[in-house]
Amino acid sequence: MVAMHVRDHIEEVVRVVSTETPEPGTAARARRGLARPQQLRASPFRDAQQGHTPLRDGLIRDSWRRCVATHGLDPTRLQEARILPEARVREHRERLEDLIRTARFGLESLHRRIAGQGYVLLLSDARGVTVDFMGDPTFDNHLRRAGLYLGSDWNEAHAGTCGVGLCIASGEALTVHQTDHFDATHVGLTCTCAPIHDVDGRLAAVLDISALRSPTPKDSQHLALQLVQDYAHTIEMANLERRFRDRWLVRFSLSPDFVEADPDCAVALDDDGRILGMTDRARRLLAGQADGSARDPSAVIGRHFNELVDFDVERLGDLGRGAATESCGIEVRSGRMLYAHAAPPGPAPAARSRPDALRRGTHGLPAPLAALTGGDPAILAMLGRAARLVEAPVAIMIRGETGTGKEYLAKALHQSRRKPGPFVAVNCAALPESLIESELFGHVPGAFTGARARGHAGLIREASGGTLFLDEIGDMPLALQGRLLRVLAEREVLPVGGSRPVPVDIRVISASHRDLMAEVRAGRFREDLYYRLNGALLTLPPLRERADLDWLVGRMLADGAADPAGHRLDPQARLRLRAHHWPGNLRELANALVCARAVSTGGVIRVTDLPEDLQAPALSAQAHAIGPHPRAREDAEMLRMVLKSHRWNVSAAARALGIDRTTVHRRMRRLGIRPPHRVEG
Ligand SMILES: Nc1ncnc2c1ncn2[C@@H]1O[C@H](COP(=O)(O)OP(=O)(O)OP(=O)(O)O)[C@@H](O)[C@H]1O
């Protein structure tokens, strides 16, 4: 039966594209490699059951023809959904980052409404690449195969007639239902899409809700269509409000009672009354009033408000909150009556009162972020992106070799927030596997042997209202990854032994020095969790690639120096630092300087004061790759140096390092360091 459906479908597509070709010459191209129409078998099954060949909507028929004539697709050749590689998806996603951030709340709210009905949600960019996806992890494989997945490419040129592709081509909200699809591979799907426009009227994204199974009549998707249109409109409104907070915002409605609560559309104006931005419904409303085409955003953007509506912008203040109904009526040039509400400009983002921590540092960055670099161009570019993410409700993933400062960056992001709340750092590699679940999610009293008598809120709840930093996330046991995913998706946590989930409001920053995508491929890390954590990716370069080493050295030497004059490096020692490969990155540098400061005399650090492997000319990267973990090796090296310089007097070494004696003894045991007389003995 399925094969029959497929054959019927191909026959119908071939007949439509072969018999009704819009442009001269396309018929020949359409027939290229296809069965001739008169050879096609009539299909009583299809005609009796659906009978919609002649009714197939004009947009669909035009798209089928385009698929053959313009895109050179062949309906007899079925193609699997195309999923782009992760790096390409990230590029597409980064370009749409601001919009995704603004849309996030709306997308999650829409997803909650449709998830129980078998739909998944996709947000595609204007080229048809899925840059955000919310689906049901239980159907992961089916969804992926059907192309309902992050990174799937639904551009009409590759995928044939489909919801996203046709929405991009037509600019209209629509449903492409089952056999509306060009490629028979997709005839099981129903896809309902609405365009999301940027404030200048350009298509920015497509909001799509799709299902693997649906009733045969296309009408069954009517409500789905209303829903995506409403959410696309709400996202456009949120985007306009965010972009033009410091401008006049005029909202319109057909009803005076709804103009504030649920406006139909809105425009942003500059002080002279010129239109700076709009929602798409405003473009439709106002472009018709201008002499240009109703589809043309330039008929509206840049025009003076007075040219399109009968209203003097000097009177915008009269359209404020609670204005009498009669005073908020506005006549558009066609004579139609609308009701308007005007919100005056808020303070410009930069001029808002900010706590001290947010005062601008150098390079136009918030001070905590600016403090991370002395001007390295790659880091500055990354910090510029980081600054834009400070208040964004997206999960941030930080990537970088060990010791590159991932936790420092996470803290700086946190401190740059207007209301930072608590910062809770969890090292997933350091927590024993048996404890990680109850430590993270908490437990109720008596949940297990050894549980705390009064129960435990857990680190996730402790971070509520602030930031949860998940360090070494790649080491999180697979079984707990699913639970973490649920916390992130549902924004609530279920304590061990508990039956009632507790809502949490956390912002998650995760870090790993592992290649997490490789972990995903190896089946050790859940792909859905990876994408959930990777709302935005920030990469810290290794120290050997940084151009601000001298600045870092100066800063580290000044930090915590006992004497205000600090220490300085002699030129030879500086050269050694510059030539070193730094496998342990900033941690290795900080340790080397603590050690050098402790053993140096007269405030000058010489080559002989540096740890042993820095005294020798630089080793090759390969040589550095051999041996114990760089962090352990560095820690051991530093501790041995300090102990040696204090004649193995643990108390003196502890004072020099600013830690207590027991910590020194513990570290010596952990790092296998023994005083020489014992070694000799
Ligand atoms: N911007 C910085 N300024 C001064 N010191 C820094 C900076 N960043 C990192 N460090 C030094 O490097 C050490 C390691 O930093 P951090 O813990 O943030 O690195 P990490 O990348 O999270 O390490 P790991 O991969 O081992 O978890 C810090 O303890 C500090 O000594």
Q: DSSP for 554-598?
A: HHHHHTT-SSTT--EE-HHHHHHHHH---TTHHHHHHHHHHHHHH
Q: Verify that 602 and 653 share a domain, yes or no.
A: yes
User: 377 or 183: whose pLDDT is higher?
Assistant: 183
**Which atom of ligand 1 is found nearest the CA of 556?**
4
> Within 96-214, where are the H helices?
97-114, 140-146, 156-159, 163-170
Task: With respect to residue 478, please indicate whether it lies within any of the assigned structural domains.
Answer: yes
User: Distance between terminal CA atoms of the chain?
Assistant: 85
- 3-state DSSP call for residue 321? coil
116 and 130: one domain?
Answer: yes
Atom index in ligand 1 nearest the CA of residue 373 equals: 1
Alpha helices in 416-534 (DSSP H): 433-441, 459-462, 478-490, 516-521, 527-533
Distance (Å) from CA 614 to ligand 1 centroid: 19
Domain that holds residue 261: 244-343
> Measured between alpha carbons, how far is 382 from 360 in angstroms, rounded to an integer?
17
Please indicate, yes or no, whether residues 507 and 366 belong to a single structural domain of this protein.
yes
Give the rounded percent of residues in the chain with a pLDDT score beyond 70: 81
Instruction: With respect to residue 74, please indicate whether it lies within any of the assigned structural domains.
Output: no
561: left (phi > 0), else alpha (psi -120 to 50), else beta?
A: beta
Interaxial angle between packed helices 571-579 and 549-558, expressed in degrees from 0 to 180 and rounded to the nearest 10: 120
Residue entry with tokens 């954590």: 533
Q: Which CATH number characterizes residue 203's domain?
A: 3.30.450.40
How far does the centroid of ligand 1 lie from the alpha carbon of residue 540, in Å? Answer: 11
74-83, 424-433, 622-631, 635-644: the lowest-pLDDT one = 622-631
Contacts of 318 (CB under 8 A, 6+ apart): 327, 328
Residue 474 has pLDDT above 60, yes or no: yes
598 and 669 part of one domain: yes
Q: What is the pLDDT of residue 49?
A: 33
pLDDT higher than 60, residue 59: yes
The whole-angstrom separation of Cα 191 and Cα 453 is: 52
User: What is the three-class DSSP state of 454?
Assistant: coil
Q: Is residue 349 part of a domain?
A: no
Task: Give nearest CA residue, ligand 1 atom 30.
Answer: 587
Same structural domain, 148 and 101? yes
Q: Do 607 and 621 have their domain in common?
A: yes
Last residue of a domain, one of 499, 521, 539: 539
Ligand 1 pocket: which of 407, 589, 629 to mutate (most atoms within 8 A of CB) = 407
Most confident segment among 51-60, 134-143, 574-583: 574-583
Q: Is the CB of 373 under 6 A from ligand 1?
A: no
Residue of higher predicted confidence among 232 and 104: 232
Q: Is the CB of 587 under 6 A from ligand 1?
A: yes
> What pLDDT digit, counting tens, does each position of 364-408 carry?
788 899 999 988 888 999 999 999 999 888 899 999 998 999 999
Claim to verify: residue 329 and residue 473 sit in the same structural domain: no
**Mean pLDDT, residues 155-179 taken together:** 94
596 and 497 within one domain: no
Choice among 275-279, 504-508, 648-652 with the minimum mean pLDDT:
648-652
Does residue 551 line the site of ligand 1, with CB under 6 A? no
Please report the pLDDT score of residue 39 as a whole number. Answer: 29
Distance, CA 512 to ligand 1 centroid (Å)? 13
Instruction: Answer whether residue 76 is part of any domain.
Output: no
**Would you state the pLDDT for residue 193?**
97
Q: Out of 379, 397, 408, give the residue to mutate to test ligand 1, the one with the largest number of ligand atoms within 8 Å of its CB.
A: 408
Cα 659 to ligand 1 centroid, rounded to whole Å: 18
249 versus 627: the higher-pLDDT residue is 249
Tell which of 240, 275, 299 closes a domain: 240
Would the CB of 588 count as within 6 Å of ligand 1? no
**Is 659 among the domain residues?**
yes
Cβ of residue 403 lying under 6 Å from some atom of ligand 1: yes
Q: Ligand 1 centre and the CA of 565: distance in Å?
A: 24
**Residue 507 clears pLDDT 60, i.e. is over it:** yes
Specify whether 502 is located in the same domain as 403.
Answer: yes
621 and 600 within one domain:
yes
The answer to whether position 192 is within a domain reads yes
Q: With 80 as the cut, is the pLDDT of residue 642 above it?
A: no
Ligand 1 close to Cβ of residue 143 (< 6 A): no
> Which of 540, 534, 538 has the alpha carbon at shortest distance from 552?
540
Among residues 240, 274, 294, which one ends one of the domains? 240
Residue whose C-alpha is closest to residue 629's, from 496, 497, 478, 472: 472
Q: How confident is the model at residue 30 (pLDDT cuts 50, 70, 90)?
A: very low
Is 406 touching ligand 1 by the criterion CB < 6 Å? yes
pLDDT-derived band at 566 (thresholds 50, 70, 90) equals: low
| 352 part of a folded domain | no
* Cα–Cα dist 245/247, whole Å: 6
Span from the CA of 590 to the centroid of ligand 1 (angstroms): 8
Residue with CA nearest ligand 1 atom 29: 587
Please tell me the predicted confidence (pLDDT) of residue 352: 42
Is the confidence at residue 349, as pLDDT, over 80? no
Residue 592 CA, ligand 1 centroid: distance in Å: 13
Q: Is the minimum distance from the CB of 474 to ligand 1 under 6 angstroms?
A: no
pLDDT band at 494 (very low <50, low <70, confident <90, very high): confident
Q: How confident is the model at residue 669 (pLDDT cuts 50, 70, 90)?
A: confident
Widest CA span of the chain, in angstroms?
102
Backbone angles phi, psi at 560, to 5 degrees: 70, 10
User: Could you tell me if 515 and 571 lie in one domain?
Assistant: no
Q: What pLDDT sits at residue 673?
A: 80
Judged by average pLDDT, the poorest of 211-225, 323-337, 347-361 is 347-361
Residue 609 has pLDDT above 80, yes or no: yes
Say what the ipTM of the complex is: 0.97
Name the least confident of 243-257, 379-393, 597-611, 661-675: 661-675
Give whole-number Cα distances, 582 to 173, 519, 617, 623, 677, in Å. Answer: 55, 25, 13, 12, 32
Task: Tell me the pLDDT band of 85, cut-offs 50, 70 and 90.
Answer: confident
CATH of the domain at 448: 3.40.50.300
Answer whether residue 164 shows pLDDT above 80.
yes
Q: 247, 198, 213, 202: which is closest to 98 by C-alpha?
A: 198
| CA 409 – ligand 1 centroid, Å | 9
Ligand 1 centroid vs 661 CA: distance in angstroms? 24
Question: Which atom of ligand 1 lies at the shortest distance from residue 371's CA?
Answer: 1
Q: From ligand 1's centre to the CA of 588, what distance in Å?
A: 9
> What mean pLDDT is predicted for residues 299-305?
82
Can you tell me the mean pLDDT for 138-166? 87
* Residues above pLDDT 90, as percent of the chain: 31
Q: What is the structure's pLDDT at 203?
A: 92
Task: Using the atom order of ligand 1, give the atom closest to the CA of residue 540.
Answer: 21
| Ligand 1 closest atom vs CA 410 | 18
3-class DSSP assignment, residue 207? strand
Q: Which whole number is the average pLDDT over 627-632?
A: 49
18 lies in some domain: yes
Segment 247-265 mean pLDDT: 87
* Predicted confidence (pLDDT) per residue in 195-227, tens digit: 999 988 889 999 999 999 899 999 999 999 999
Q: Whose CA is nearest to atom 12 of ligand 1?
A: 587
Q: Is the pLDDT of residue 450 over 80?
A: no
Same domain, 379 and 481: yes
pLDDT higher than threshold 70 for residue 592: yes
**Ligand 1 centre and the CA of 664: distance in Å?**
20
State residue 236's pLDDT score: 96
- Segment 320-338 shows an average pLDDT of 72
Task: Provide the number of structural domains found in the chain.
Answer: 5
Give me the pLDDT at residue 540, please. Answer: 95
Q: Give 403 Cα–ligand 1 centroid separation in angstroms.
A: 5
| 589 C-alpha to ligand 1 centroid (Å) | 10
pLDDT for residue 614 is more than 70: yes
